Amino acid sequence: MGIDRSFDHTNWMTPPFNRQAFQHMREFVPTAHIERSADPVALPRRPLPLDDVAVRSRRGGTITWAEHLATTWCDAVCVVHDGHVVDERYFEGMHERRLHLLMSVSKSVCGAALGVAIGRGEIDADQLVTDVAPEFAGTSLDGATVRHVIDMTAGTDFVEDYDDYDEADPEVPLIEYEHHASYRPLGARTPIGTLGHFRTYGTAFPHGDRFQYRSPLTNVAARLLEVVNDLPYADIVTRDLWGPLGTEHDANLMLDPLRHPVVEGGMSCTLRDLARLGLAYLDDGVVGGRRVIPAEWVADTRHGDDQALAAFEAQPGGNVDGWSMYRNAFWVLERDQVFSGLGIFGQYCWIHRPSRTVIARFSTTPTALPEDVSAETLGAFTTIAEHLADRHG
């Protein structure tokens, strides 16, 4: 049976169309170009037999690693242990040169770029947003700092509820936002872009009071980087990350109808290049012997502070998923040890410091947040990392 290429801008996030659409974003939405490195960093291969490693199944009992990948809508996975690719495989037409949508792992890329800018002294995490970019004066970010924005503790009133994700009701804030962010057709709406839509939001709580996941805040973080660099965000990523990381392939970034970057979820890249980002965070910001991200920023990302822990515990509904905090656009599972970039429909850039393992994974699950599949996947990652440490450490 051939590969289904019948996706378009109206159906691309729904199965079965998403499986191919996530690999071909530039065919139906505008994108900006991110250039690969002129000096790629090699990822040496040392294949290991992981197929039969037993992992816990969401249905009870155990299944093999190979069965897990085959039954959780995996499009590609790359396991890097101690600097060597020990397992790399592709499904559903994916291959090593093909780009795949990162969804919210795109936020982690922005977090890394912000860390570079802070390391150079171009911006400070404690600066007021309105001091960096006066264009946000009079918005929900009055009085908010850069830290509040990147950690999603700003008081901006925006509800991101994925239980409503498949609804077409324009009263659902997330759905209406997506029409202005190129995720869904604009239709007859007046184009105001992601930042214009952001300026319509009110304030729900005092800045720093609690963590609440709201994707549009990351678009603001990227805009702050554009202001201090006087460059488009895609060019900043090319200069500060994609080049220094030693990437093999170009990447791209979705643009909204006004051609502003959709930084919170619109980046696409290849699998191994995503693994290189994870390796930078594993090795304190260094890849291939060269400094990419400040060591202090990497340490802060995985450790955070007591305020970040408290804000995460104070989130609406409490901490029900087992994570410790959200810091610098990464999710921290075990402080200082295990953290990850996460994207809906099953995107991961997962770092396990005790075993020196990075796992990059692309997926297209049938729904945005299938909790049972996510739990099985994260559990499988841990099992693989511990297996590598025990047998091949």
Active site residues: 104
Among candidates 332, 328, 314, 128, which has minimal Cα distance to 209?
A: 314
C-alpha span between 150 and 115 (Å, rounded): 10
Strand-pair category, 267-269 with 84-90: unpaired
Strand-pair category, 286-287 with 74-81: unpaired
DSSP state, 191?
P
Residue 139 CA to chain centroid, in angstroms? 26
Residues pairing with 338 in the sheet: 334, 352
Cβ atoms of 248 and 79 within 8 Å: the answer is no
**Crossing angle for the helix pair 295-303 and 271-282, nearest 10 degrees?**
90
Kindly state the tokens that stand for 103.
């969804």
Cβ atoms of 220 and 149 within 8 Å: the answer is yes
CB atoms closer than 10 angstroms to residue 180 = 26
Among candidates 22, 4, 29, which has minimal Cα distance to 100?
A: 22
What are the C-alpha distances in Å from 231 to residues 137, 236, 240, 347? 21, 7, 12, 28
Phi first, then psi: give them for residue 312, nearest 5 degrees.
Answer: -70, -40
C-alpha span between 341 and 109 (Å, rounded): 9
